[in-house]
Amino acid sequence: MSSIRAEMSGDTDALLQRLNKLKSLEKRGVLNSIAEGLRTSTVERFQSEKSPEGVGWTPSIRARESGGKTLTDTTTLKTSIHSQADESGLAVGTNDIRAATLQFGDERTIRAKNAKYLTFKVGGQWRRAASVRISIPPRPFLGISDEDELDIRESLEEIFKE
């Protein structure tokens, strides 16, 4: 699983400390519920095309040209998002090899391997080149939004009321 570490601060820290003190509470179930909520909100970002901070993703060339959505051509990345939890913590992520590049962006040079030239289409015209320098803008989809943090805080407060 690709990993990105996100930490919450403020009132949530105090609630998590209180949660650790409750021996009778089944922490795995609570953390599993929080993890599933985070997984759901991560998957929903593919519909809104926005980062956890609410910033819109730079549209991909394919999405601009065909009118589709960025990062959802095949839905492989979106459906690879999963969550796991145990008594010690939780994780939400993906094992998709492209995830880090799409989350953080990248610049790289692509070179022809099996032929003298790369052949590709740009703006409806075919081009040939021995190498091409590309820039992939970051499109963050993993992380904890303010709304996620509020949902977690409310869930933990509800548990403490019970």
Which amino acid, 160? F
Tokens coding 53: 């901070």
Q: Residue 125 domain-assigned? A: no
Share above pLDDT 90 across residues of the chain, in percent, rounded to a whole number: 61
Which amino acid, 67? G
Q: Residue 1 domain-assigned? A: no
Greater pLDDT, 26 or 101: 101
> Count of domains in the chain?
1
Which amino acid, 20? N
For 82, the domain range is 11-105+138-161
Distance CA 134, CA 31 (A): 40
Q: Residue 101 domain-assigned? A: yes
Convert the pLDDT of each residue in 96-144 to its tens digit: 999 999 999 999 999 999 999 999 888 789 999 999 999 999 999 999 9
Greater pLDDT, 93 or 124: 93
Convert the pLDDT of each residue in 40-63 to its tens digit: 999 999 999 999 999 999 999 889
Q: Residue 124 domain-assigned? A: no
Tell me the whole-structure pTM to 2 decimals. Answer: 0.78
Burial class (CB in 10 A: 0-12, 13-18, 19+), 102: buried
Q: Residue 72 domain-assigned? A: yes
